[in-house]
Amino acid sequence: MKMIKGLLFGSAAVLVASSGAQAADLPVKAKAIEYVKVCSLYGPGFYYIPGTDTCIKLGGYLRVEVLANGNSVYTGNTSGAGAANNRFTNGYTWRSREDLNVDTRTATEYGVVRTFFDATFTWTTDNYGGNGAAPGATVYAPLGGGGTVAPGSAPNNGGAGNGSYGTVGVYYAFIQFAGFTIGKAVSQFSTPWVNYPGNSYDGLVGGGGTVTGVNQFTYTADFGNGVSLSLSAQDQAAYYQAGVNNLGLAGTAGLGPYGASDYAGTISPDFVGMLRVDQAWGLFQASFAAHDNHAAYYGATELTGHPDDKWGWAGQLALSIKNLPTGPGDTINLQGVYTDGATRYNIQDLAGSAGANTIFSGTNLLGAYQSIGFGIAPDSVFASGGQQQLVQTWGFRGAYVHNWNPYWNTSIYGAYAGIMYNGTAKSLICGPTGTGVGGSFGANFGTAGLTSCNPDYSIGQIGTQTQWTPVKNLTFSADLIYTHLDQKYAGTITFPGSGGIGKPAAIYQLKDQDTVSLLLRAQRNW
């Protein structure tokens, strides 16, 4: 009996202990899960970051594009291997890109604090670089790792240097707060359509650009009713330096026909002012920029001296007309610009090669091997012992966009830039008589066949684009662009050759040049 009682009491003790342990192990009531909530303060696509009062929006696009007849998706065949018009000119250049942007906004007692970041991840193929290509450019490897294949190129057969490369780019990274914009953003000089009044092609002349942003410190005053004024200091080194070209001793061939760019260190940002009226009928904008040209030395050391700084400037007017009677959403975008020692505000950074044209093509002139056209547009030129001579330009661009229906639209667009050297600059390049004798151009290329020497030129562009959007945020486009270089030289020169693009030393005719390219694109925005 004692044994039975002991077992019963022992079992009861175990049950009590067990039930106590289970009560102690019961989970504490969990906090409610903070689900992501829609933030309707700043438009569609924003959500609250859990646990904060900050709203975030993720966006971007995936783009695939092919340029027919060109070595760069951006600028067309106006320089380098693309402008050689020989076997080193690509029949196509292919690119795939993913863009990612992050937009955050927080309401504060001082207004909305915004940060914006945009990055691209890009893969490009078949971009021939040639010998002596700029740092970062792709150069094909020699065949088989043994013999040399002039000009140091090989088929796109895989491995290192096979003509394919990936890049990561930071387009925008800025903070906006209480009217200030601080960081890398589109220049305040640029229009809202930047380089695209009605096109996808990046290389239009005729206005300011910086599609990929420029470092700046800007204050914008909003006067209401769509009227605003922006004052800005922005970096000039990355996108707004077209060249302060040192010709060396006048009439010598030491530094080339247009000299060599001779920048000193950074000393001053560009200063920009912009007034904008943006209303339901359209937009009007007036922009102004001041640009300091800060050259280094005439020679290799400080003892050689240097030219004084010279301030250049640029002015731009822009007009956009919406709600045209030709169709819903039809628009006209126009802008005109004048620059004096600030060339990049006309021939913008993605149209850079349009300011350094060296284009080859055929010729019917007896005794000439081929033809060549030059169009070079720095900010200034100077010779040893002299001062900077600023280069003047003027230009315009514009487009008309017509929507056939909600799925199809077509645009017609064009652009133009005229480049003018003053009398002193022309004498340095072409000699006092304009024959090339005593100038840097004749010293490099000879004067025997030169009948007219004049560094002025113009470049005109005309194109059309058609877009098809079968479903929302998916667009297919075709953009055809024609470029004409009207250069003012005449006669023939003795060109020393260019091994990097396969051009021999020979007699070349000086004449105007033309180039055509077709940009095909598929893009999915998200």
The mean pLDDT of 70-79, rounded to a whole number, is: 83
Confidence at residue 128, expressed as pLDDT on a 0 to 100 scale: 52
pLDDT at 126 (0 to 100)? 64
Least confident among 73-77, 186-190, 261-265: 73-77
Question: Residue 78's closest CA among 507, 516, 378, 470?
Answer: 516
- pLDDT, mean of residues 476-486: 97
Place of tokens 């340095």: 428
Q: What are 485's two structure tokens?
A: 């270089």
DSSP state of 227: E
Mind listing the pLDDT tens digit for each residue in 156-169? Answer: 333 333 456 788 99
Q: Please tell me the predicted confidence (pLDDT) of residue 458.
A: 97
User: Can you tell me which residue has the tokens 């940060």?
Assistant: 115
Instruction: State the Cα–Cα distance between residues 272 and 292, nearest whole angstrom.
Output: 12
β-sheet bridge partners, residue 63: 97, 523
Pairing of β 450-452 and β 54-68: unpaired
Copy the structure tokens of residue 106.
Answer: 């927080």
CA pair distance 348, 344, nearest whole angstrom: 5
Tens of pLDDT along 170-212? 999 999 999 999 999 999 999 999 999 999 999 999 998 889 9
The single residue listed with the structure tokens 């180039």 is 515
N residues, the chain: 526
* pLDDT at residue 31, rounded to an integer: 60
Domain boundaries, the chain: 42-128+163-525
Backbone angles phi, psi at 144, to 5 degrees: 65, 0
> Residue 16: how many CB atoms within 10 A of its CB?
10
pLDDT score at 20? 44
Residue 366 predicted with pLDDT over 80: yes
**Which range, of 17-21, 241-245, 297-301, 521-525, averages the lowest pLDDT?**
17-21
Closest of 234, 226, 219, 229 to residue 185, by C-alpha = 234
State the chain's mean pLDDT as an integer. Answer: 88
State pLDDT tens for residues 375-392: 999 999 999 999 999 999
Q: What is the pLDDT of residue 25?
A: 52
Q: How many CB atoms lie within 10 A of CB 178?
A: 10
144 pLDDT above the threshold of 60: no
Nearest Cα to 213, choosing from 179, 169, 167?
Answer: 169
Determine which of 106-120, 123-137, 396-410, 424-438 has the lowest per-residue pLDDT on average: 123-137
- How far is residue 206's CA from residue 418's CA, in Å, rounded to a whole number? 9
- Is the bond preceding residue 197 a cis peptide, omega within 30 degrees? no
Give me the percent of the chain exceeding a pLDDT of 70.
Answer: 85
| Contacts with 476 (C-beta within 8 Å, 6 or more apart), sequence order | 467, 468, 469, 470, 521, 522
Q: What is the mean pLDDT of residues 357-380?
A: 96
Q: What is the pLDDT of residues 394-410, one digit of tens each?
A: 999 999 999 999 999 99
Label each residue of 470-507 as H, E or C. EECCEEEEEEEEEEEEEECCEEEEEECCEHHHCECCEE
What is d(CA 121, CA 232) in angstroms, rounded to the nearest whole number?
Answer: 29
pLDDT category, 149, cuts 50, 70, 90? very low
How far, in Å, CA of 78 to CA of 92, rounded? 15
- At residue 354, the pLDDT reads 60
Which residues pair with residue 80 across a beta bridge? none
Candidates 393, 377, 394; CA nearest to 429 is 377
Predicted local confidence at residue 240, as pLDDT: 95
Q: Which two tokens stand for residue 245?
A: 């070209």
Q: Number of H helices and number of E strands within the chain?
A: 4, 26
Higher-scoring residue by pLDDT: 477, 130 = 477
Question: What are the structure tokens assigned to 141, written together?
Answer: 């490897």
Average pLDDT over residues 83-108: 94
Q: Which fold has domain 42-128+163-525?
A: Porin (2.40.160)
Residue 458 three-state SS: strand
Q: Residue 408, Cβ neighbours under 10 Å: how many?
A: 13
Higher pLDDT pick, 43 / 1: 43
Query: In whole angstroms, what is the distance from residue 277 CA to residue 275 CA?
Result: 7
Closest C-alpha to 393, from 319, 458, 484? 458
What pLDDT was estimated at residue 442? 96
How sure is the predictor about 76, in pLDDT bands with cuts at 50, 70 and 90?
confident
Q: Are 97 and 79 in contact (CB under 8 A)?
A: no
Query: What confidence category does residue 146 fall into, taking pLDDT thresholds of 50, 70 and 90?
Result: very low
For residue 444, pLDDT over 80 is answered with yes
Q: Beta strands 164-177 and 180-185: pairing type?
A: antiparallel
Q: Which helix (H) or strand (E) holds 423?
A: helix 423-430
**How far is the C-alpha of 291 from the C-alpha of 420, rounded, in Å?**
18
The whole-number average pLDDT for the span 326-352 is: 94
